[in-house]
């Protein structure tokens, strides 16, 4: 489990993190942490091209993951992993289905099928 430590950052960096983070549904602190992780990977990989990595992550035409070197691909994968973790943490399909009145099925802890209704009643 990771721990957090307080730190001071320049006001312009904080404002930029707030602005950019809002687009990615991150707080300023989460955005700064994201930038720090990417920076750590870039510094550890002197052969990386930050501009190309950024273009691949942005989905710009002509910039493809397969065209990156191994180190650049590692940076892109780290960013994708982080994005997926953030999205999974926010995902609650049971709540979404219940709000929309839809039924759904899922496996319980023993692997048995459980049918759920918008009132979340078991039919198993």
pLDDT tens digits for 57-109?
888 877 888 888 888 888 888 888 888 888 888 888 888 888 888 888 888 88
Domain definitions of the chain by residue range: 10-44, 49-88, 92-123
Mean pLDDT of 32-37: 87
Rounded to whole angstroms, how far apart are CA atoms 21 and 27? Answer: 6
Predicted pLDDT at 18 = 92
Burial 57-67 (b: 16+ CB within 10 A, else e): beeeeebeeee
d(CA 99, CA 76): 35
Q: Name the residue with higher pLDDT: 47 or 60.
A: 60
Tens of pLDDT, residue by residue over 2-27, are 677 888 888 888 998 999 888 888 89
pLDDT of residue 124: 47
Please state whether the predicted TM-score (pTM) of the whole model is above 0.85: no
pLDDT, residue 43, reads 72
């Amino acid at each position: 489990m990771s721990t957090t430590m307080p730190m001071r950052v320049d006001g312009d960096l904080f404002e930029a993190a707030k602005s950019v983070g809002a687009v990615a549904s991150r707080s300023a602190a989460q955005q700064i942490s994201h930038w720090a992780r990417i920076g750590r990977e870039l510094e550890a990989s002197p052969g990386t091209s930050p501009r190309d990595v950024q273009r691949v992550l942005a989905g710009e035409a002509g910039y493809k993951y397969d065209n990156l070197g191994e180190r650049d691909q590692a940076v892109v994968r780290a960013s994708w992993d982080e994005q997926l973790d953030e999205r999974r943490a926010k995902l609650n399909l049971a709540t979404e289905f219940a709000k929309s009145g839809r039924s759904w099925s899922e496996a319980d802890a023993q692997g048995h099928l459980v049918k759920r209704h918008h009132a979340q009643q078991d039919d198993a």
